[in-house]
Amino acid sequence: MSNAHPSILFVCLGNICRSPLAEGIFLHLARQRGLDGIVADSCGTGGWHEGETPDRRAMAVAQKRGVHLPSRARQVRPKSDFTNFTRIIAMDASNMENLLAMGAPRERVQLMRSFDPAYSNDGAPDVPDPYYGGDDGFDNVFDMLVVACEGLLDEITRASSRAAP
């Protein structure tokens, strides 16, 4: 695993709502900041939607806000994902527990909302799963993810400026 460029894996349950939104938002914001070399992907702890595009409501809210969702659903691949990504970002405590049970290195697994300045690492609430709700749930999740992705990018920027010679 190389630490030269950060690599982020966003993880939710089925990889069709929260984690693809987080991936798309994160990449969009990184481009806006002119940050090159950051790698991001998303996956789910379950494989029910393997190969599918994100939920139509996730696609709609992203398109409305000018964000492209680049990936198709896939299930976490413990051997390669836990080796290749410098950060593994879980959307909720249940996903985090599942990742740790699969062997994810604890020091690289964090909750998405732990990057929201309103919360500490210990008290970060879950990003709620909007799948069984209405369209407004996707808008709310999008807004939560923007704040958390901005915080994650701030942390990455601070870390790289400390590491620079």
Enzyme catalytic residues = 12, 18, 129
What DSSP assignment string belongs to 144-161?
Answer: HHHHHHHHHHHHHHHHHH
Task: Decide: residue 102, CB within 10 A, 0-12 exposed, 13-18 middle, 19+ buried.
Answer: middle
For tokens 């939607």, name the residue. 49
Percentage helix, strand, coil for the chain under 3-state DSSP, each rounded to 5: 45, 10, 40
